[in-house]
Structure 1
Amino acid sequence: MDEDRAAEQAEPEGLPEPFVRLLGDYERHLVSERDLAPHTVRAYLGDVSGLLDHCGRLGIDDVADLDLRALRSWLARLQTVGRSRTTIARRATAARVFTAWLHRTGRVPADPGAALGSPKKHKTLPPVLRADEAEALIRSVADLADDGTPVGLRDVAMVELLYATGIRVGELVGLDIDDVDAERRVVRVLGKGRKERAVPYGVPAGRAVEHWLATGRPALRVEGSGPALFLGVRGRRIDQRAVRDLVHRRIADVPGAPDIGPHGLRHTAATHLLEGGADLRSVQELLGHASLATTQLYTHVTTDRLRKAYQQAHPRA
């Protein structure tokens, strides 16, 4: 874990008792009312703890005295200690969500975070595979599954499904058997914010999943397997880390391919869909993006590829 991530997850100690109680109330709101994932709740609480710790250093011991100047002072301090733009932008978002809750629950007379800005994040182009590299990756996994072992069949099905659908690794490991509609070749996914969406997949992925369910999964299944679609070697629902390790190991077998993980396959699927003529709104729905602006990042990827091809091929580039 890098220093930024470690600092984000560390909660300051020694907060005044009113602030500790306030954090408890806020945690209950995030869990019971907003139904956020545990790691998201931890991130929000860590950010807000840092803000309240900074308020204490400024002499603010009553949340009703929290104002825009204190919020800006907190972000400025983060910048002086070398936090990245992405980290500061996320902390600003956490502060705005927190102060909106304070105002809505009557703890502050006005929402000081409503006027709080965020530094613009640098847009970076995610590394993606070329179509031939994606094929080589799948062949690499399939070659190891030729012996018909349950783990090999599972790995082929997971990689095929990741590339075919562009779903997140957390969504993949959360799939149950009943989430797969083999007849329509659609998988039902529970995404961020517990929003459900249906994502289609192609014939190769369908064959791989069918083979896994018919031959591989029964061999790994144990009494406590439950309905999980993909199982680990001990028969329980597979862990995200195992999927990431699989993708990184198999990518290493593809000459010249960037070292990507499951999220890189998600980027790759989105890019190949757009390059193949899919419209942006459809890709947004398939990926489960709340904002079209997030999906538009992939248009930068395809434009960047086009520019590179032009520069390499055109005599007057």
Structure 2
Amino acid sequence: MSRSDRSTRAMHQALPPALREAVDDFAEHLSRVRNRSTHTVRAYVTDLVSLFDHAVRMGCVDLAELDLLVLRSWLARQRTTGAARTSLARRAASARAFSAWAHRAGLLSTDVGAALASPRAHRELPSVLRADQAAALVDGPTRRITPTDPPPTDLPDTHGAPTDPARTGPAGEAAVPLRDRVLLELLYATGVRVSEACGLDVGDVDHGRRVIRVFGKGGRERSVPYGVPAQRALDDWLRQGRPAMVGAHSGDALLLGARGGRLNPTTARQIVGAYAEAAGLPRTSPHGLRHSAATHLLEGGADLRAVQELLGHSSLASTQIYTHVSVERLRAAYRQAHPRA
């Protein structure tokens, strides 16, 4: 547990029972009803505990006493302590989401957070690879640039099974680059999130139509196509790689870690970063590959709404940032090539 998590837990335990119960009920609502990820629920809880800790300091010991003044005071305090605009925007969104839920649940007489304004978060243009750089990255395992998994004691697989000696022998070692190759190919070919890639089961792959079934944020299901290189990587992995790494705790997981359990997203991020470094590329993450895939699709003429569907964005505004990337690239090319730029 991180220091931040320990601090949040301590503040949570120090809250008055009514406020503590409200935090717990809202967390359960997010997890079970809204189907939010563990990471998202943790972020909401952290924000709410901070809000209620501030409210108690202002003399608010009951949920009914929560009002707009308390919310604004909390955000103002966050700003004076150096919180970034993006953090302030997220915390305001957390407060509004809780307020709306508490009003619907009858815990608040009015939705006090509805009028809470927040600074517009500054959205930086995502860093993307050129097409040739992305190709060099996904071809890394084929060239036998094979970074190894981190030690199992540092990053246990989902089930925490003991390492099977059979998977650490020559067959298991030969399977690692096949696993890495299919991971990189799928991330770039489909633009899926790293959590979505690691969550894939063998049955989620439709080889005939070259489509994968993905369960994204909020449990929303979508179908995403992939190309011939990814299909070849999948064929090699399923025929030669996965059987060498499969174990008692593998289940239906498509991508496996060193212990034979489902591949951990943190491990997947380290794999991508290691291959990027080995290929002499800028520091790259799975999310960077997602940015790159979206940008290259739009630069190739793909429709914006089609890219929105592929990425699983609930709002078109989330996808439009990639049009900004393309414009910036166009401007860069113009400045470099035009004699009167």
- CA spacing shift, 1:143–1:9, aligned 2, 3 Å: farther
1:104-124 deviation line (CA, Å, top 9, x unaligned): 112222111001111111111
Q: CA deviation at 1:64?
A: 1.2
TM-score (structure 1 length as normaliser): 0.94
Verify: 1:99 aligned to 2:99, yes or no. Answer: yes
Q: Which residue of 2 aligns with 1:313?
A: 337
**Contact preservation (8 Å) 2:178, 2:237:** yes
Verify: 1:166 aligned to 2:164, yes or no. Answer: no
Letter in 1 for 2:209: R
**Contact preservation (8 Å) 2:276, 2:283:** yes
| Cα distance in structure 1, aligned partners of 2:82 and 2:185 | 40
Verify: 1:263 aligned to 2:287, yes or no. Answer: yes
Q: CA deviation at 1:223?
A: 2.0
Q: Which residue of 2 aligns with 1:213?
A: 238
Q: Secondary structure at the match of 2:278?
A: coil
Q: Which residue of 2 aligns with 1:90?
A: 90
**Contact preservation (8 Å) 1:153, 1:212:** yes
Q: CA deviation at 1:292?
A: 0.4
1:25-60 deviation line (CA, Å, top 9, x unaligned): 222322232222222212111111111111111111
| Cα distance in structure 2, aligned partners of 1:32 and 1:187 | 25
Across the aligned residues of Structure 1 and Structure 2, the Cα RMSD in angstroms comes to: 2.0
Q: CA deviation at 1:174?
A: 0.4
Q: Which residue of 2 aligns with 1:288?
A: 312
Q: Secondary structure at the match of 1:106?
A: coil
| Cα distance in structure 2, aligned partners of 1:236 and 1:10 | 30
| Cα distance in structure 1, aligned partners of 2:2 and 2:328 | 29
Q: Gapped runs of 5+ residues in structure 2?
A: 147-169
Letter in 2 for 1:315: P
Q: CA deviation at 1:145?
A: 7.2
Verify: 1:150 aligned to 2:172, yes or no. Answer: no
| Cα distance in structure 2, aligned partners of 1:61 and 1:168 | 40
| Cα distance in structure 1, aligned partners of 2:25 and 2:182 | 43
Q: CA deviation at 1:79?
A: 0.1
Q: Secondary structure at the match of 2:213?
A: strand
| Cα distance in structure 1, aligned partners of 2:95 and 2:49 | 10
1:176-213 deviation line (CA, Å, top 9, x unaligned): 00000011000000100000000000001001101100
1:249-301 deviation line (CA, Å, top 9, x unaligned): 1111334x321111100000000000000010000000000110000000011
Find runs of 4+ consecutive structure 1 residues off by over 4 angstroms: 145-148
| Cα distance in structure 1, aligned partners of 2:54 and 2:15 | 10
Q: How does 1:240-259 map to 2 (within 5 A)?
A: 240-255=265-280, 257-259=281-283
The size of the alignment, in residue pairs, is 314
Letter in 2 for 1:259: R
Q: Which residue of 1 aligns with 2:36?
A: 36
Q: CA deviation at 1:18?
A: 1.8
**Contact preservation (8 Å) 2:199, 2:253:** yes
Q: Which residue of 2 aligns with 1:175?
A: 200
- CA spacing shift, 1:30–1:8, aligned 2, 3 Å: farther
Q: Percent identity?
A: 54
Q: Which residue of 1 aligns with 2:17?
A: 17
1:53-79 deviation line (CA, Å, top 9, x unaligned): 111111112211211111111000000
Q: Which residue of 1 aligns with 2:156?
A: none
Q: Secondary structure at the match of 1:237?
A: coil
| Cα distance in structure 2, aligned partners of 1:161 and 1:26 | 35
Q: Gapped runs of 5+ residues in structure 1?
A: none
Letter in 2 for 1:270: A
**Contact preservation (8 Å) 1:231, 1:237:** yes
Letter in 2 for 1:200: P
Q: Which residue of 2 aligns with 1:46?
A: 46
Q: Secondary structure at the match of 1:283?
A: helix
**Contact preservation (8 Å) 1:145, 1:153:** no
TM-score (structure 2 length as normaliser): 0.88
Q: Secondary structure at the match of 1:198?
A: strand
